[in-house]
Amino acid sequence: MSHLIAPSLLSADFGNLKKEIEMVNMSQADWFHLDVMDGVFVPNISFGFPVIHFINKYAKKPLDVHLMIIQPERYIKEFKKAGADILTVHYEAVTHLHRTVHAIKNEEMKAGVVLNPHTNVFLLEDIILDLDLVLIMSVNPGFGGQSFIENTYSKIGKLKELILKKNAKTLIEVDGGVNLSNAESLIKSGADILVAGNAVFKSDNPVETIRKLKDFQS
């Protein structure tokens, strides 16, 4: 499988959101990445259901919704109704992870688990077969535009080992500080999906930047 590119709309111009969505639609991007923050689990607040409904109205590609919120299990059905195709929850925010993952799958969404930079990938050993993807945070969650954490490469390698050991089909997604300088190394390390925010939306030519991110080979 060729790697996927998921531009993060957190870095988009919300004053021209429809135009930004249409840009992603016409680009080689594969998914829209949506960061939902509650100001409790992370020290920032982003957007909720009305904005996701709006994005879903115009998006022609799957919505990859990353929940940086406490007790995400309370809102699974609502995110499905809002248009989420992929729903990822933080390992650190969920008490009953197996139950939550299967509640997401029961709503016919792909289910993923997110790991903060300090969280060991081997904590997922008993659930990796149930996961469609694992999202590795390569910055501390909460704000866009942070510096990439170099230990991410090693972490991807360890997760890849676990996936192969368990004969799982889980995809590896990376979010935080992804750009044209490190994308190729991330793919070669084993990443299947790259989330890029500022690298895309702050570039002079976002469509061209997405094409370049897509063209890297493993």
Residues forming the active site = 35, 175
Helices and strands, counts by H and E, the chain? 8, 8
Q: Which of 143, 101, 140, 122 is nearest to 8 (CA)?
A: 143
d(CA 143, CA 25): 24
The answer to whether 158 and 136 are in contact (CB under 8 A) is no
Q: How many residues does the chain have?
A: 218
> Rounded to the nearest 5 degrees, what angle is found at the Cα of 23, between the Cα atoms of 105 and 195?
45
Diameter of the chain by CA atoms?
46
How many beta carbons lie within 10 A of that of residue 63, not counting itself? Answer: 22
d(CA 101, CA 131): 7
Q: Which two tokens stand for residue 110?
A: 């792909």
Q: What is the rounded (10 degree) CA torsion for 90, 38, 73, 138?
A: -10
What does the block give as tokens for 97?
Answer: 């992870």
CA distance 164 to 77: 32
